Amino acid sequence: MITDNPKSAPVPSSPAKPIAKLEAAFAAARAAGRKALAPFVTAGDPDLATTVAVLEAVDRAGATLCELGVPYSDPIADGPVIQASYTRALGAGITLDGVLSIAKQASAKVTMPILAMVSYSIIFRRGIDRFVTDAKAAGLAGFVVPDLPLEESDEFDSACRAAGLALVRLVTPTTPPERAEAIARKSTGFLYCVSVAGVTGTRTELPPGLLDRIAWLRTKTDVPIVVGFGISSPEQVRAVAAVADGVIVGSALVRVVAESAADATSEMRSQVETFIADLSAATTAA
Amino acid sequence: MPAATAVSSVPDALGRFGRFGGRYVPETLSAALDQLEREYAQAQADPAFHAELDGLLSAFVGRPTPLLFAKRLTEYAGGAQIYFKREDLSHTGAHKINNTLGQGLLAIRMGKRRIIAETGAGQHGVATATACARFGLECVVYMGAEDVRRQAPNVRNMRFMGAEVRPVESGSRTLRDAINEAMRDWMGSVETTHYIIGSVVGPHPFPRIVRDFQSVIGRETVEQCRRQLGRLPDMVVACVGGGSNAAGMFYPFVDHSEVRLVGVEAGGRSGEPGDHAASLSYGSPGILHGSLSYVLQDHDGQTADVHSVSAGLDYPGVGPEHAYWHDTGRVEYTSVTDGEALDAFDLVAQREGVLPALETSHALAWAANEAAKRPPSEILVVCLSGRGDKDAAEIARLRGLAADGSEK
């Protein structure tokens, strides 16, 4: 199942601004006639070493970039699969420093940029400046902060811009058009288009109107548009990739990791690689 | 009207009480919170809205609730005169109904016919189910599985009124987890559903709206004190979990700087982490359930496990306006233990013929103790936020008594 590494263009190493690594990853995908594939991996589920191995596996299998989920005790935007993975990771003792050490170890081994998906509760607790400094030192390229809307984000936005880190913003089906434009203008790295009004988790059908909504957003912004929530199959990836610049696959991969974590590490890696490679193949333009 | 610098002149346009409050929620909820804010502003300016709500508070809830002199408790304490603001006499047995009727009317104005709510002790759940039955709205209540067990009478009453009660098995299976599940429901249903938050917590504009609807408690108390006693009290005491009865009681008093205001948190078994639910006494600034306030949390900002004998106070956060009052020094916050609250339950039951809720018993414990230290010329008002029928079976169980209250 594993074919050639689809990343044909080289990704520059250690750019001055971490966000440049993200921009280069999108450029490389475009140059290869592909759309971006962005898997989501829960940090520390079931442990640090496994997460590093999963990140290596998704990188090898063709992921363009990766979202590293920072476990949080009260994730209101997440469905049962990601919630349960956070609970397992916290139960196993994961800390923010542990997550950052995963990022640091993995970024030395993989070519894809890694972003943190992190609750603002955790950022606030560490302090914005210290959090951004620590994340940059760990090799992260930026952040998705699902509970930090436009109105509350000025201070964190400034800190990210100063450090050259991406702050990826989210638009959802309930976001009014004018607000969506304002969010797109502020988004750096890419724009996260949430497919459904609801929590994370796989769904069998793409929501009606999604493709039109992406096409409309396309006319409003030049940043890459990446679609997430509910996407798990190659068919869904293919449909979304036809209009968007990339897709995020979260809960489905978290489930693959959870179900195979008991296996020998090599077996788990091969299951993760197969799953990602199948999705990656679906990101190539028809 | 209060001056612009008055303690009461919060929140600002972004929902800030000083540095606290705000709106830290997924983008999916932003439009609904904006809609709620607009609708609330329109309703406030609409005499028909006030007329309808006031009519319900009078004929349906039974307001105004009385201010009662607690004669035998005062004699027992031997100091300041103790008065009870009898929210326990409200329809459904607690202050929660003041808010659910107001928000129910807002939901109808917004064209939302499905209501969701969280509940800890079940008082807010019952009050929501009651408002929904009265208004003909669909009602789903999320309740921690542990609370479903310890507050069974309220669960039964919600179901009798047509509400669906969904036990929440995640996390600590208490109020915090019920809020998480209600928020997740709302993420997927926000276009047709209104979430009636039961306390002065959550994202803007909820802390302000709930405070405003509950402020009828304090407004009546101010008026009753002036009429019955000829002056304002020296001290006003209320229990604080999320803090809705306290916010409603205190808000009309905050600009009267001569009145001492005291919030009593759940001290649980001890002051050790995990043994209590006293966010202002032991917590630190953090973000939980959409607003910045004091939170019981660990080094990384993960919410801590908490404990209280009282399901309604068993919550690791507190409303942002309380955080503001705490930091400005306008309100004092303290805590009493499970054991002290249980003793106060007995004391008030036996000396006043009132079974107080375990939440309220925390305020009563502190008030009886403090009254003993104050001169008889002073007046102390306790917000008797709810009645204790719901707790009777759990208290019997904790004491190893039979269901009929006799020794086993």
The shortest CB-CB distance from B25 to any of A75, A149, A175 is to A149
Q: Is B193 helix (H, G, I), strand (E, B) or coil?
A: strand
Using a CB-CB cut-off of 8 Å, the residues of chain B touching A148 are 24
Q: How many CB atoms lie within 10 A of CB B195?
A: 27
A255 contacts: CB under 8 Å, gap ≥ 6 = A81, A202
Give the closest residue to A153 by CA, choosing from A190, A130, A182. A182
Give the closest residue to B370 by CA, choosing from B72, B67, B78. B78
Which residue do the tokens 């589920």 mark? A45
Interchain pair A74, B176: CB under 8 A:
yes
Whether residue A36 lies inside any domain: the answer is yes
The shortest CB-CB distance from A96 to any of B29, B292, B300 is to B300
The shortest CB-CB distance from A148 to any of B24, B190, B297 is to B24
Going from the first residue of chain A to its last (286 residues), give the mean pLDDT of each consecutive group of 10, the final group possibly shorter.
46 69 97 97 96 97 98 96 96 98 98 98 98 98 98 98 98 97 97 96 90 94 96 95 96 93 81 95 82
Q: What's A65's domain CATH number?
A: 3.20.20.70
Whether residue A10 lies inside any domain: the answer is no
According to DSSP, residue A6 is labeled: S
Select the residue from A151, A179, A186 to test the B interface by mutation, using most B Cβ atoms within 10 A: A151
State how far the Cα of B173 lies from the Cα of B305, in Å rounded to an integer: 10
Whether residue A16 lies inside any domain: the answer is no
Q: How many CB atoms lie within 10 A of CB A269?
A: 20
State how far the Cα of A54 lies from the Cα of A249, in Å rounded to an integer: 14
Whether residue A111 lies inside any domain: the answer is yes
ipTM of the complex: 0.96
Q: Is A187 helix (H, G, I), strand (E, B) or coil?
A: coil
Contact B390, B121 (CB under 8 A): yes
Domain range holding A62?
Answer: 30-280
* Buried residues in B316-334 as b, exposed as e (16+ CB within 10 A): bbbbbbbbbbbeeebbebb
pLDDT in tens, A13-49: 444 799 999 999 999 999 999 999 999 999 999 999 9
Per the structure, how many domains does chain A have? Answer: 1
Any chain A CB within 8 A of the CB of B55?
no
* H helices present in B47-95, as ranges: 47-59, 71-77
pTM of the model: 0.96
pLDDT in tens, A204-213: 989 989 999 9
Residue B233 token pair: 């009290």
* H helices present in B332-371, as ranges: 338-352, 358-371
Using a CB-CB cut-off of 8 Å, the residues of chain A touching B27 are 146, 149, 169-172, 174-175, 183, 194
Whether residue A235 lies inside any domain: the answer is yes
Whether residue A286 lies inside any domain: the answer is no
Whether residue A17 lies inside any domain: the answer is no
Whether residue A20 lies inside any domain: the answer is no
Using a CB-CB cut-off of 8 Å, the residues of chain B touching A75 are 180
Give the closest residue to B122 by CA, choosing from B104, B105, B138, B144. B144
Interchain pair A79, B289: CB under 8 A:
no
* A5, A39, A249, A268, B361 from A280: Cα distances, Å: 10, 10, 11, 18, 61
Which residue do the tokens 């002036």 mark? B226
Q: Nearest chain B residue to A72 by CA: give it.
A: B302
Q: Taking a contact as any Cβ pair under 8 Å apart, which residues of chain A between 25 and 44 contact chain B? A: none
Interchain pair A146, B30: CB under 8 A:
no
* A&B contacts, CB < 8 Å: 118
What is chain B's pLDDT, residue by residue, as a tens digit (408 residues)?
444 468 999 999 999 999 999 999 999 999 999 999 999 999 999 999 999 999 999 999 999 999 999 999 999 999 999 999 999 999 999 999 999 999 999 999 999 999 999 999 999 999 999 999 999 999 999 999 999 998 999 999 999 999 999 999 988 899 999 999 999 999 999 999 999 999 999 999 999 999 999 999 999 999 999 999 999 999 999 999 999 999 999 999 999 999 999 999 999 999 999 999 999 999 999 999 999 999 999 999 999 999 999 999 999 999 999 999 999 999 999 999 999 999 999 999 999 999 999 999 999 999 999 999 999 999 999 999 999 999 999 999 999 999 889 998
